[in-house]
Chains A and B, each alone.
Chain A
Amino acid sequence: MIPGFGMTLGFALTYLALIVLIPLAGLLWRSAALGWSDFWRLAFDPRTLHALEVSFGAALLAACINVLFGVPVAWVLTRYRFPGRRVLDAMVDLPFALPTAVAGISLAALYAPNGWIGSLLAPLGIKVAFTPLGIVVALIFIGLPFVVRTLQPVVAEIDREIEEAAATLGASRRQTLARVILPSLTPAILTGFALALARAVGEYGSVIFIAGNIPFVSEIAPLLIVIRLEEFNYAGATAVAAIMLAISFAMLLAINLIQAWSRRRFGHGS
């Protein structure tokens, strides 16, 4: 019999409770203590609703763009050999490794009207920095690796014989991609999309520098929590946080359901 079960499990559970569960339970406790009507008033005041809408809308748009480009990126990095591939592949993890504040100020500098990209867009009348569009840019950066890294192992796993089978049955390359390969990537695409979305909804550091943070325009929900805290409005902060937490858990559940469905249907995870 292998020893150490009691000690390791005991330590793990205690540590989990102290660092994660008790503080999170504290949040739920404080929001429950608000009472229904207070909670309702705080959570659904127009500014909060708008901030949630901005966070969600931008995250949704960013996740869609990440899927649109992440699929070809994962395909190219996994299937093709070209100079620089390894470096690019390693760089995909940059958003995981680069502190969000650094990403934030860098993107703000790039997309500001006098920045490298901003100055190219300004004559076209497109403003990115300090608008909701800037939020989307930051969230694309943050979500990119989730889509690509979820897809890569699945692309690598596609059996070449599947593609050959489609070809022998008369399917053109385009038909094979559309009818055979893309559908078999669907669970991974959905999972990557959901992961990118979940991360983007709660993102703070990279967004606040580029967003402009104008209430009712480009103010995101996490920033609203910080603002409420700075006003010592703990109740207000708690209410917004509780809603966001509920949304996060719903998305976590969705991700798990996608994976369970995919395992059941295709006999493998995504």
Chain B
Amino acid sequence: MAAEVASVERAAAIARVRAATTESRGGRLALIAVAVAFLALFLLLPLAAVFTEALRQGLGAYLAALAEPDALAAIRLTLIVAAIAVPLNLLFGLAAAWAIAKFEFPGKALLTTLIDLPFSVSPVISGLIYVLLFGAGSALGPWLQRHGVEILFATPGIVLATLFVTFPFVARELIPLMQEQGTTDEEAALSLGASGWQTFLRVTLPNVKWGLLYGVLLCNARAMGEFGAVSVVSGHIRGLTDTMPLHVEILYNEYNFVAAFAVASLLALLALLTLVLKALLELRFDGRSGAGH
């Protein structure tokens, strides 16, 4: 009996001393509880609220809100803007990454910093700069008006503002990736007689395809979801210059909450899809490039 007690005591002592290089079980559970509660409060609950509010009056009202012509027009405009902005920024990202990663030139560090610049500018300012550039008070404004060119309060302005806010996404994924891969693969391909284009298409592009997809994914999410910058340049003309996020705002301000949350739920689904694809991509190339978006 005494031996049994001693062995139980010894087992307890061993269990205690084993926790020496990690948190105790209680501490771990407490930390997990804090983290899960915080994330649930600030991430899961808002997400759940979008769908709950959207379906508050049933599926019928939800679908009717989405089938409304203005909603459809907003969806169409959002798709058009993303379809223009994403490929352009993709092209820029590839060109910038090629120049920065494969060559040495003075001012490279400055160029890399400038590419990130739009991330540190408030979305409202991102819109404002185009208003100042093309608006009535600018040097260009009257000339544009005389020639009937509409930029502000029309699709081109929305595209420009979207281009600005999504500018760095692809480039900042590709630059570190291409830098890490160096130039030996390309030099080998060229020495084997491949042309510049062949080298790019068959060697460089396959090497960076996951990073590229990752950048495009984030770029697209922001392009479809941008609110502040687009809000400043759009003019909020229903059915004409309203993107989905702007349409959400209009409906919300009209107290048409079900419709507002219905359109919002589409954007939330897009966000969820983005997160799923992003997680899959990260499994693939394990290259989470960290924060700073």
Contact = CB atoms under 8 A, between A and B. Distances in A.
A/B touching: CB–CB < 8 A: yes
Interface of A: 1-5, 7-9, 11-13, 15-16, 19-24, 26-27, 30, 69, 72-73, 75-77, 80, 82, 84, 86, 88, 90-107, 109-110, 115-117, 140-141, 144-150, 152-153, 160, 163-164, 167, 173, 176, 192, 195, 198, 201-205, 209, 221-223, 225-226, 229, 234, 237-238, 241, 244-245, 248-249, 251-252
A72 B42 contact: no
Given A147-B291, A167-B20, 9 more contacts: A7-B95, A16-B96, A26-B129, A97-B272, A99-B227, A101-B225, A117-B45, A150-B291, A202-B121
B173 interface: no
A205 B227 contact: yes
Contacts of B24: 173
Interface string B267-282: 1101110111011000
A12 B232 contact: no
Given A90-B278, A153-B290, A23 B133 contact: yes
A173 B23 contact: yes
Given A75-B31, A202-B123, A173 B268 contact: no
Contacts of B102: 2, 4-5
Contact of B43 (A94, A195, A221, A251): A94
B46 A107 contact: yes
Given A2-B103, A27-B125, A100-B228, A105 B292 contact: no
10 contacts: A4-B99, A4-B200, A11-B91, A72-B31, A99-B226, A100-B225, A100-B227, A105-B260, A205-B228, A221-B122
Contacts of B44: 91
A51 B270 CA distance: 33
A192 B264 CA distance: 29
B129 A205 contact: no
Interface in B162-198: 163-164, 167, 183, 186-187, 190, 196
B35 interface: yes
Contacts of B34: 69, 72, 76
Contacts of B218: 96-97
B32 A82 contact: yes
B114 A16 contact: yes
Given A26-B129, A99-B227, A15 B105 contact: no
A2 to B, nearest CB: 5
Contacts of B36: 76, 84, 88
Contacts of B81: none
A167 B17 CA distance: 11
Interface in B129-174: 129-133, 135, 137-138, 160, 163-164, 167
B20 A2 contact: no
The 10 closest A-B pairs by CB, nearest first: A202-B122, A99-B225, A205-B227, A149-B291, A204-B228, A3-B196, A23-B129, A97-B271, A222-B124, A9-B99
